[in-house]
Structure formats: C-alpha cells, structure tokens
Amino acid sequence: MKRFSVIFLFLILISHLLHSQKTISWKLSIAITPEIKQSFIKGGRLILHVTKQHEREPRLRSEITFGVTPQNWEANLPFIFDSKAENVLNIGLDQLKQNSSEKYYFQVVYKQNIDDGQENVAGNLYSNIDSVFYANTLQLNLTLNKIIPQTPILKHDFVKTVEIKSKLLSDFLERPRFLKAAILLPSSYFENPDKTYPICYRVAGLNGRYTAINDLINNKDFTEWWFTKTAPQIIYVFLDSQGPYGDTYQVDSENNGPCGKALTEELIPEIEKQFRYKPDSKMRFLTGNSTGGWVSLGLQILYPDFFDGTWSYSPDPVDFEHYGLINIYEDESIFYNRYRYLQPGRRTIYGEPTLSMKDWIAGENLNSRTGSYLVSGGQFGAYNAVFGPKGKDGLPSLMFDPITGKIDHSIAKQWEKYDLKMVLEKNWSTLGPKLQGKILIWMGDMDGLYSNVATRFLQKFMEKTENPKSDAKISFTAMAGHGQEWSDRSVLTLIAEKVAKK
C-alpha cells in the first residue's frame, strides 16, 4: 500500500508539471531593427532567456530558457516565437511559479556567428530587456537592436597583440581564419633589447579568449608584483581557442582543421620572431587550467620536442575510460551509469551532485541550431568536434545520442587518438624519454567535474612505467575542487624556479 501511495504521488507531480507546461502559451514577436538588418545572417539560433533576477542581463544567466531555429526568416519581417511549437526546446519551466505577483525579465539572443559556437560573443544580436508579470498566456514584442561588439585588449606598454591570417585554417575552412594572441612582457624586457626570455603559452579554460589578459592587468595585486624586479622575467602569452564548434583545444581535428599545426607552425613562430625568443634556449613552456589543463598537457604530449615543459591544472579527462564517470568504450549511455542511476556531471566538493549529464546535454541541445549538442558551442559540442570524425553532412559525428544518451561505440573508438593516457601507453618507448622533466599536473580530489578520476588512472600508469621511469609530478589535494589552486602568479613562479635551475 505504501508503495502504491508513493507511485500515486509521483504521478500527480508529473501530471502537475506537464499540465503547467501545457497551459503556458507565450507568443513573442521578434523583430530586427533597421540599423542592424544588414548584419543579420539566416540560419542562426534564437534563444529566449527568462529570469526573476533583475541584477544582471537575462542573457548572462537565466533560470528559464527556450531555443528555436527560425526557418526562412527574413530580416524585414518579425519572427513569431510560440512556446508551444514542437521545434521549440526549453529548460527550467518547472521553476515557473504560477503567481501573478511574480515579475519576469525577458531577453532574446540570436546566435549567428559561424566562426564562434558560443552565444554571448561578437557578431551575435540581442534585444533590450522587457519585464512583465507572470501570465499563462502572454504576448510580447522584442526587438533585436544590438550587436555584441569585439572585446578590446587593454592598452598598456607591456601588453602586445599578434594577429595573423592562418593559411592552414583558411584553406581548410575555405574562408579567412585568423589566429590571435595577447602578450604580457616582463618588467625588464625593454631594458634588455638583446636578451632572450623564457616564454610560456597560457591556455584558458573552456572557450577561453586572449582577452583574459585584461583580467590580469586589472588585478592590482598581480600587476604590483609583476612589475617588480624580483618577479619572474618570462614572456607570458595568452592563446585564443575560438572555433566554429566551440573550443578548438588547439589540436588538429577532422572538424576544426589543423589547429595544432597552425599553432606550432604559424602563430608561435610569428610571436617568437616578434619578441626575440630563441628556440635553442629550450625555454618554451605551457600552462593552463581546466580545458587549458588538458590542452597544455595534450600539446606537450603531442609535440614532445617542441615544448619544454607543462604545468597543467585540473585537466579535462585525460583517460576516456574515465570520461568523468563514464567509460565511453564500454558503457551503453552517458545519461545512466551501469547501475541504471542517473549519471551526475557536476558536484560540490562535498560530493553533492548539482547537475546530471542528461540535463547538461539538454542545455546544449537547446543552444544548438541543430537542436542537438552538435553545434552548441558548449563543453560536449566542443569535445565532439575536436575528438570525433566528420559526418556525411560535413558536421561532426555525434558520439552519443542527444536524446537517449546512447553511445555510438564506432564513433567513440575514433576518439582514441586524443585519449592522452592511451597515447602514452601505446607510445611510451618513444614519448617517455622526450617527456622527462616536462610534466607537472595538479588536481583537486573533489574535482567538480569528476576529472580527478581520470587523472588518478594516469598517475597509476605513470608510476608503472619503465625505460624510462616517468618523473612526471602529479599531485592531488584532498577536498579541493576544480581549479582551486590555479593562479597565474603561482605557475609563473614555478616556471621561474625551473628556469633558475637550468
């Protein structure tokens, strides 16, 4: 009887949620202001953000989001957004309180930048914010009247930029493709015009941009330290990971093109030419946190002779048998684990799950013009494009089904060449000697993305290596979360200490 009551209450709850969603009928007329009609590109993704929070723009974070790809939308006509249309995806509707005293704030973004998979990036369009009190039936007019501008690099005597047209990537994409970097020079740089300085390439977290240098320059504590004579005398280069499907991970791939080759053969040589770095000095280093942790480690492994050391913090999964908590080669689904429990994707440092893989992918599906995570610009859209093969339609092949989470093991197997632990296992006799003295990894043992599991298995492999025995330094901090010990100052100090021992 007790079991029947629980099931009955559960069915009532589901019925209530479904009823509340069905009774919502929101229709919005989305127009485009004449001033930006020429900037409109067909085929983009329209994303409606709804929030009760008034302290920030809804497009920056919202509790309720809708996504739709308008078909045959002409810039001179408004698009009628209907929340009940079959092709409209939504998340967060269960958070709606059917209370007429609640005010909600609405804002719409139109993702149209074909060179950048993200939403709030240059070239995309967005509207002003409108607010209304809650109603099940609602009609509203919003106008796309703004274009997100480029973020400029702050002007500073010790900050420089390099931008080049990449022939390799332009040929691959069959349209112009540019590579950018921002450079922070050491305090003594201009006093020593003939000196060769160590150089470190910094890779930001997911979808990181070279504009991250602005945050460092605006950090008073950092700049006061950096411009002292005792601070590390290192050229610090901020890379940019912009790509059509999200972060390119700075490696060659079937979908993004020869990004690793373009980095090592086009961009880095140009930077080092301009800032008088001599490769013979063997002081070309890498660092990064999160996605940047994976990229910095991946570049060191894939280009073992080109780079001279990496400091990698909280790297994304370095072993795809432990892709978070998923084994992509053997598990059936990324939504449910082998015990048939909902698979968590994020957690607190105390182990409390905060987001399931199923809900994570639902969010990426919503943000993609295909209605799947394929071109979401998010974490799994990026993974899929970087690690997977190109599909018959010219877009990346999906490693797992966006609705059921079912893994396509024929696609998963093709990810092996980016499985860093597997690359090391298969090639240790040649890679091992070249990587001695070059790898330092830090990881929190309560990583919020469960990436510590993969790093633990990488450590186990490294400890068993022979001919040579790996001297990689892999450290874990108990109860520490994702990127908790990362800081530019700390890593630059570690690099300076290494240089001083040469």
**pTM of the full predicted structure?**
0.93
Q: Strand ranges (DSSP E) for 185-309? A: 199-203, 235-239, 252-253, 257-258, 284-289
The whole-number average pLDDT for the span 182-207 is: 96
In the predicted model, what is the mean pLDDT of the chain? 94
The whole-number average pLDDT for the span 282-307 is: 98
Q: Please report which confidence band the pLDDT of residue 6 belongs to, taking 50, 70 and 90 as the band edges.
A: very low
Top-level class of domain 22-147: mainly beta
8 Å CB contact between 470 and 477: no
Q: How many whole angstroms separate alpha carbon 145 and alpha carbon 246?
A: 25
pLDDT digits (tens, 9 = 90+) for 20-39: 444 789 999 999 999 999 99
- Domain segments of the chain as ranges: 22-147, 159-319+419-500, 321-417
- Residue 308, pLDDT > 90, answer yes
Q: How many whole angstroms separate alpha carbon 239 and alpha carbon 207?
A: 11
Q: Please report which confidence band the pLDDT of residue 13 belongs to, taking 50, 70 and 90 as the band edges.
A: very low
The whole-number average pLDDT for the span 339-353 is: 97
- Residue 11, pLDDT > 70, answer no
Q: Please report which confidence band the pLDDT of residue 12 belongs to, taking 50, 70 and 90 as the band edges.
A: very low
What is the structure's pLDDT at 134?
Answer: 87
The whole-number average pLDDT for the span 119-136 is: 94
Q: How many whole angstroms separate alpha carbon 450 and alpha carbon 446?
A: 7
The whole-number average pLDDT for the span 59-64 is: 94
The whole-number average pLDDT for the span 447-451 is: 98
What is the structure's pLDDT at 24?
Answer: 87
What is the structure's pLDDT at 4?
Answer: 43
Q: Please report which confidence band the pLDDT of residue 93 belongs to, taking 50, 70 and 90 as the band edges.
A: confident
Structure-token pair, residue 191: 């006093």
- Residue 9, pLDDT > 50, answer no
Q: How many whole angstroms separate alpha carbon 311 and alpha carbon 250?
A: 16
Structure-token pair, residue 271: 């930077």
Q: Please report which confidence band the pLDDT of residue 135 belongs to, taking 50, 70 and 90 as the band edges.
A: confident
User: 3-class SS at 293?
Assistant: helix
Can you name the residues that pair with 142 across neighbouring β-strands?
30
What is the structure's pLDDT at 19?
Answer: 44
**Backbone phi, psi, residue 235, to 5°:** -80, 120
What is the structure's pLDDT at 321?
Answer: 98
pLDDT digits (tens, 9 = 90+) for 409-434: 999 999 999 999 999 999 999 999 99
DSSP secondary structure letter of residue 140: E
Which distant-in-sequence residues (6+ apart) come within 8 Å of 153 by Cβ? 159, 161, 182, 210, 211, 213, 214
Cα dihedral 473→478→482→486 (10° resolution) = -50
What is the structure's pLDDT at 99?
Answer: 67
pLDDT digits (tens, 9 = 90+) for 388-403: 999 989 999 999 999 9
Neighbouring C-beta atoms of residue 366, cutoff 10 Å? 23
Q: Please report which confidence band the pLDDT of residue 100 belongs to, taking 50, 70 and 90 as the band edges.
A: low
Q: What whole-number percentage of the chain has pLDDT above 90?
A: 90
- Residue 1, pLDDT > 80, answer no
Domain 159-319+419-500: what homologous superfamily?
Alpha/Beta hydrolase fold, catalytic domain (3.40.50.1820)
